Amino acid sequence: MENRFAKRKNASELVLTVMIWAILGLLGTRLYLELTGYPKITKGDWHIAHAFIGGLIMTGGMMIDLVLAGRKIKRLAAGVFGVGLGLFIDEVGKYLSKDNDYFFEPAIIVIYVFFVILFLIYKYLEKREKKNKTDGWIEMDWGWETKLWRRIRKMAYQKIFRRKIVIYSLLLIAIGYVIGGIGDAIYLWGTFKNDQDINIFTLKSLTDLTVGVMFGIGIYMVWKKKQRRGINFFRYGILVYIFLSSVFKFYFEQFSGVIGVALSIAIYYGLERMGKELAK
């Protein structure tokens, strides 16, 4: 089983393709519904939910992979499957609430955690494939999505994150996150509908405080010329923000935090590369 798993050297590329197209499918569906006033496909007693359409599309992607062969076919199947997955998971609120509520607030946490898990699987497979490559595996011809993603990451690091000025920008990053946390607290205060809202707000406030403390330690370490340790504390703080604070924020504000999460991932990647450079 171990050897079979290891030979799928393009597995991370396929997972990345599924994740990207699932996110596009999800956000595209939400945008379409918002612009069109949430129309319904109904006829008499019939109602066709887009989760059903998503299931059909996922089945189509699976059949493409099963019937046809080739590396490009697998990427096509992964893309089709991802679009269907995005449509399907968009309606997860209906399956988690007893009244089939599409706008069931906790559902967004499930959606967010789902994509976080997909991202972690992608990173795990990518790391495993790099190890296989160093052990003598020949790297496969990657698809255009992965090549483009790698070029963007490399260019972003060389043009932005490698500059020494970024070290001094850590303070501005910390201030930005702290101001954002305070702003969220002020905005959300007084909007609670029940005890659950208060509990989620309390958890968010505690995680925001944890992020602020980690950033504070990071700034102190950098000031003491311990840049590597300081960067690690910033990375830990951003991970807490991505995996905890953002989840609680999405509970209240749905998709308004997407930009902040994307920016946090970019900053985390830059800090990760910077830490590796300092370790050399």
Same structural domain for residues 113 and 15?
yes
Q: What is the pLDDT of residues 81-109, one digit of tens each?
A: 999 999 999 888 888 888 888 878 778 77
Asked whether residue 20 is assigned to any structural domain, the reply reads yes
CB 166, CB 274: distance < 8 Å: yes
109 and 31 belong to one structural domain: yes
Together in a domain, 121 and 56: yes
d(CA 190, CA 182): 14
- Residue at 171 is within a domain: yes
The span from the CA of 50 to the CA of 38, in Å, is 11
Domain boundary among 133, 155, 190: 133
Q: Are residues 175 and 274 in the same domain?
A: yes
Indicate if 42 and 84 belong to the same structural domain. yes
Q: Is residue 237 part of a domain?
A: yes
> Are 126 and 204 within one domain?
no
CA distances in angstroms from 100 to 25, 94, 97, 117, 247, listed in the order given? 21, 4, 5, 25, 22
Residue 192 lies in a domain: yes
pLDDT at res. 254: 60
Identify the pLDDT of residue 259: 67
Domain final residue pick, 133, 150, 177: 133
pLDDT tens by residue, 124-176: 887 787 776 655 544 455 566 566 666 766 665 555 555 556 566 777 888 88
Does the residue 27 lie in any domain? yes
5 within domain boundaries: no
When divided into structural domains, the chain yields a total of 2
Neighbouring C-beta atoms of residue 167, cutoff 10 Å:
14
169 lies in the same domain as 112: no
Q: Could you tell me the two tokens for 138? A: 């020949």
Range of the domain at 73: 10-133
| 127 and 230 both lie in a single domain | no
Does residue 171 sit in the same domain as residue 129? no
> Do 28 and 115 fall within a single domain?
yes
Residues (pLDDT < 70) of the chain are 1-9, 132-150, 152-168, 254-259, 276-280
What is the full DSSP assignment across 235-269? Answer: HHHHHHIIIIIHHHHHHHHGGGGHHHHHHHHHHHH
Query: In this structure, is residue 249 part of a structural domain?
Result: yes
